[in-house]
Amino acid sequence: MISVYDKTGLEELGTGLAEAGVEIVSTGSTAAKLRDAGVPVTNVEDVTGFPEIMEGRVKTLHPHVHAGLLADRSKPDHVARIEELGIAPFDLVVVNLYPFQDTVASGASEADCIEKIDIGGPAMVRASAKNHGSVAVVVDPASYGATLEAVREGGFTLDQRKRLAGLAFQHTATYDAAVASWFAGAYAPDSEAADSGWPGYLGIGYERESVLRYGENPHQKAALYTVAGAPASGLAGAEQLHGKAMSYNNYVDADAALRAAHDFDEPCVAIIKHANPCGIAIGTDNAEAHRRAHACDPVSAFGGVIATNRAVGAELAGQIAEIFTEVVVAPGFEPAAVEILTKKKNIRLLVADAAGFGSGVENRQISGGLLVQSRDAIDAEGDDPATWTLATGTPADEDTLADLAFAWRAVRAVKSNAILLASGRATVGVGMGQVNRVDSARLAVTRAGERVSGSVAASDAFFPFPDGLEILTGAGVSAVVQPGGSVRDAEVIAAAKAAGVTMYLTGTRHFFH
């Protein structure tokens, strides 16, 4: 039985099966395409004795099809019964389903989406997969070559049929989860989903992409999975041009770096270590941005991960080649850059887009469940400097305001509590991951050293007391941007006023844990 929506490789498959002496039963447009290719085919109507009806909704839902799929030929009574009824058993089923997910993604009408919910296809796939002791089921055109090879060698082994059945159930599970998610989220949401935007059901399947050497530590096992049925994208779908296999920690840091670099429209480089920035900078090109990002903390940048939102050229490649770097992630690499960087045997070069870093949701597993939230895409009203409130001091000049805007955007990439110092659209000191804002301020000032004088500061959340701010102003910070919202805002603003610095309030927070 062959009944496919995606007809990739269909003629080759049909021709190969026919040459091997396989009798083919098929449906509708699949049968027509096979016949046009000169492949002998029997229409399913000739097997069922019943016409296709309701615009194709009913064509294979018939005992003469499903008994042929479900007859367990290890059971004599099954074999005797189908022989008595004149039903021929199927040995091979090749089916793929209506493109429901693609139809929804296209913005099609609800009626069109409903029509693309396949019924007969999943029924045949599940029946064949259940009866894998007797039937082989193929759902992926990429498997046609192996299918023909097995047929030519006399048929599928039980282990092969088991594996194909598992893939078939994955196929229908992913499909059903997509349909159920659409009903729960868009087509028929419950009242809470309608009010909150969070559906009552989330169905997401994952497929193993690769097994990693180990996890965060050598005693932990790890693997990379990608969303089932989705096109390759983002870091998980990156093309690796060179270097050792990616590790778990490489992926974590590269994801943070990729996101940080793509937080900016201008040429940007982010250098990440242990998921925190060693430096972030923008420039006229990414070679300049890299020099300035690296200058923030060259000690920590050793062995780091670099991401840029522009293709890597020869100049940037030459700079990177001088520093031990684990991974470089970019939208592309010019041939000269590849030539330079591949002289380093172990450096990993990844071509990756920024898919998933804009709108959408992100998940975090907790014991017994999953937290889901909309992604922090730096798109809140308070992320636009035009909406900021000048709490104290004189309005920042154009250059200072540009630095503040840079610092505010860059601090999103820093683990909370986060204080980031910047000058000339580059980080000069980063205080990250401390359990109080005072220590984060001290760390940022210490890392900046002499560069703190005249720099600007961004804080990912409000100052609960004036003390953290006073560490910054006492070290020479000239302007500050922070969300505000503390019950002690008046005290913090008074401290800024007393220090003679400009301070803006955004009304938006960027915690990152």
Cβ count near 83 (within 10 Å): 12
**Active-site entry in 62, 78, 130, 497:** 130
Residues 6+ apart with CB under 8 A from 345: 243
For residues 324 and 169, give the distance between their C-alpha atoms in angstroms, rounded to a whole number. Answer: 46
| Token pair in block for residue 90 | 């199927």
Instruction: For residue 195, give the 3-state DSSP assignment.
Output: helix
For residues 18 and 24, give the distance between their C-alpha atoms in angstroms, rounded to a whole number. Answer: 8
130 assigned to active site? yes
Strands 136-138 and 92-96: what pairing? Answer: parallel
CA angle 362, 366, 367 (to 5 degrees): 155
For residues 296 and 243, give the distance between their C-alpha atoms in angstroms, rounded to a whole number. Answer: 27
280 half-sphere exposure, CB direction, 13 A CA radius:
31
Residue of 220, 223, 189 whose CA lies nearest to 206: 223
Cα 149–chain centre separation: 35
Phi/psi-derived region of residue 483, left when phi > 0, alpha when psi is between -120 and 50, beta in every other case: alpha
Please, what's the largest Cα pairwise distance for the chain?
98
For residues 505 and 412, give the distance between their C-alpha atoms in angstroms, rounded to a whole number. Answer: 16
DSSP annotation of 187: I
Q: Which residues of 449-465 are buried (b: 16+ CB within 10 A; e: fewer)?
A: eebbeebbbbbbbbbbe
What residues form DSSP beta bridges with 223? 211
Residues 6+ apart with CB under 8 A from 215: 221, 222, 248
Residue of 363, 513, 367, 393 whose CA lies nearest to 457: 393
DSSP annotation of 333: B
For residues 277 and 290, give the distance between their C-alpha atoms in angstroms, rounded to a whole number. Answer: 13
7 assigned to active site? no
Cβ distance 152 to 20 under 8 Å? yes
Cβ distance 263 to 413 under 8 Å? yes
Cβ distance 304 to 253 under 8 Å? yes
What residues form DSSP beta bridges with 43? 26
**Active-site entry in 7, 162, 274, 344:** 274
Residues serving a catalytic function are 130, 274
